[in-house]
Amino acid sequence: MPLPRLGLAEWTVLALTAERPVHGFAIAALTASDGEIGRVWQIPRPVVYRAIGRLVEAGLITAGAVETGGGPPRTLYAATGQGDELATEWLLTPVAHVRDLRSEFLLKLAVLHRRGTDPSPLVAGQRAVLEPIVAALRVEQDGADEFDRALVAWRRTSAEAALTFLDELAPPSS
């Protein structure tokens, strides 16, 4: 069965289940507006549970033990070997579009931070993706006229600001 195309909610749930077995309620708390991950990108509780269902169907996470105690029973979910590999690969893959830095890239940084994983490979890879985009936009802006020039200027300055942001993430040189 081919893997489904995963949305940002599914990738987030997969990455969190790859950290350690966790129940859906805990993921929903992490991705709520006041949660550690929700500060960057929020996932409504019903979407968390739909993502869990899709990931189980895809064989990327499995249901395990059931926690009982001070509330309703909660099933713990864990990434499969394939799910863990895909989550790690996703976390280290730069985003393709400048517009995705605010959501997906920052989300990846947050999860890498939770894992205690050095984000430098992701940051370097992201820089490598953005530099040719900035160069191409500079050329495109030179040949543009009227509104197109303004549109390209917006895209170019946004991409340049993203490069400046990445510079701030790079460790200080010794």
* Average pLDDT, consecutive stretches of 10 residues, N- to C-terminus, the chain (174 residues): 76 97 96 96 96 96 86 91 95 94 96 96 96 93 86 94 93 63
Residue 17: count of CB within 10 angstroms of its CB: 27
Could you give the count of Cα atoms lying within 13 Å of 109 in the half-sphere of its Cβ?
20
Residue count (the chain): 174
Q: Where are the alpha helices (DSSP H) in the chain?
A: 8-19, 24-30, 45-57, 81-91, 106-115, 120-143, 146-169
pLDDT for 142: 83
Backbone φ, ψ for residue 34 (5° rounding)? -100, 10
CATH architecture of 8-92: Orthogonal Bundle (1.10)
Quote the pTM value. Answer: 0.88
DSSP state of 36: T
Give the residue extent of every domain in the chain: 8-92, 120-169
pLDDT for 146: 86
